[in-house]
Amino acid sequence: MPRYKNVNGVDVELTPEEISQIERDEADWAAGADARVAAKVQSDRRNAYKEEADHLHLEEERGEVPVGTWAAKVAEIKARFPK
């Protein structure tokens, strides 16, 4: 089945080389999916730790919140953004 690209409003059939390049690009993109997902999880966790958990660690050390508060928040963040 021929594949086409639009050039100045006209559909032009792709060459076999263009089709091969597109297929290689799509395969490369698919192969990198796990890495992109892992990077997103890491970024989401980092932001959540900064906004929600970091201050609890210090508050827990000072006795301002019950022991285990920080660990519970870290566990909740990990559950929200699983690897």
Are 49 and 78 found together in one domain?
yes
Are 40 and 25 found together in one domain?
no
Check: pTM over 0.85? Answer yes or no: no
In which residue are the tokens 């730790």 written? 49
State in Å, rounded, how far the first CA of the chain is from the last one.
39
- Count the domains in the chain: 2
Task: Give dist(CA 44, CA 35) in Å, integer.
Answer: 14
- Bridge partners of 11, per DSSP, are 6
Are 42 and 59 found together in one domain?
yes
Residue 62: the pLDDT is: 96
pLDDT category at 83 given cuts 50, 70, 90 is confident
Query: What are the tokens at 59?
Result: 């508050």
Q: Identify the CA nearest to 52 among candidates 23, 81, 31.
A: 81
pLDDT tens for each residue of 62-75: 999 999 999 999 99
Q: What is the domain extent for residue 6?
A: 1-31
Q: Report, as an integer, the average pLDDT of 51-78.
A: 97
